[in-house]
C-alpha cells in the first residue's frame, strides 16, 4: 500500500462553490446539475462553510428529488439562507496531507467531505467517495 500518497492524487480539483447571497434553491440546482452532495461556501477566497445535500434534506418535507413537490421545497428553502444551514468554520486540509491522515479526520469526526486549501486558496475537495474509489483501485491492483 502506498502509505505516503497525498490527497492531491484523489481529490476533486474542480470545485463548485456557493456564497451566502445565493439561495438554497440555487444550491440544490447546483448539486443536481453537477451530481455532488457537498458545496464549500466561500466569502471572497476564504472557505467559511460547507453545505450538504443532507442539510437540505433536513429542512425539506419530502424527498428532494421528487419533481412533484418542488414548489413545497421552494417555499421551505425561502425560509432559510445558505448561511443559516451551512456548517460554519469547516475543518480544512491542505493537499500535502496523506490519504491516511484525511481518512482518519473523516472517520473520527464523521465528516463526508473536506475542503482542500493551500495558501488560503481553495484547491479541491476530498470526499468519502474519493477514498472509496481509491480503495477500490488498490484492491484491483492486487
In a domain, 98, yes or no: yes
The CATH number assigned to the domain holding 64 equals 3.10.580.10
Residue in the structure block whose three cell numbers are 491542505: 94
Domain extent, residue 121, equals 7-141
* 5-36 confidence digits (pLDDT tens): 999 999 999 999 999 999 999 999 999 999 99
Better-scored residue on pLDDT, 103 or 61: 103
In a domain, 2, yes or no: no
List the one residue out of 129, 112, 125, 14 whose CA is nearest residue 55: 112
In a domain, 1, yes or no: no
pTM: 0.86
The pLDDT, as a whole number, for residue 142 is 65
For the chain, how many structural domains are there in total? 1
Whether the predicted pLDDT of 69 surpasses 50: no
HEC profile of the chain:
CCCCCEHHHCCECCCCCECCCCCHHHHHHHHHHHCCCEEEEEECCEEEEEEEHHHHHHHCCCCCCCHHHHHHHHHHHCCCCHHHHCEECCCCECCCCEHHHHHHHHHHHCCCEEEEEECCEEEEEEEHHHHHHHHHHHHHHC
**CA atoms in the 13 A half-sphere facing the CB of 76:** 17
In a domain, 105, yes or no: yes
In a domain, 57, yes or no: yes
Over range 102-128, report the average pLDDT. 96
Amino acid at each position: 500500500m502506498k502509505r505516503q500518497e497525498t490527497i492531491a492524487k484523489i481529490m476533486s480539483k474542480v470545485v463548485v462553490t456557493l456564497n451566502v447571497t445565493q439561495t438554497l434553491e440555487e444550491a440544490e440546482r447546483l448539486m443536481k446539475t453537477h451530481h455532488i452532495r457537498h458545496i464549500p461556501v466561500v466569502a471572497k477566497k476564504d472557505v467559511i462553510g460547507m453545505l450538504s445535500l443532507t442539510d437540505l434534506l433536513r429542512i425539506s418535507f419530502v424527498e428532494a428529488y421528487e419533481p412533484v413537490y418542488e414548489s413545497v421545497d421552494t417555499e421551505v428553502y425561502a425560509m432559510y439562507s445558505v448561511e443559516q444551514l451551512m456548517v460554519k468554520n469547516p475543518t480544512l486540509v491542505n493537499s500535502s496531507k496523506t490519504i491516511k491522515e484525511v481518512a482518519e479526520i473523516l472517520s473520527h469526526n464523521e465528516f463526508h467531505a473536506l475542503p482542500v486549501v493551500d495558501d488560503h486558496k481553495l484547491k479541491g475537495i476530498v470526499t468519502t467517495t474519493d477514498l472509496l474509489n481509491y480503495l477500490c483501485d488498490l484492491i484491483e491492483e492486487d
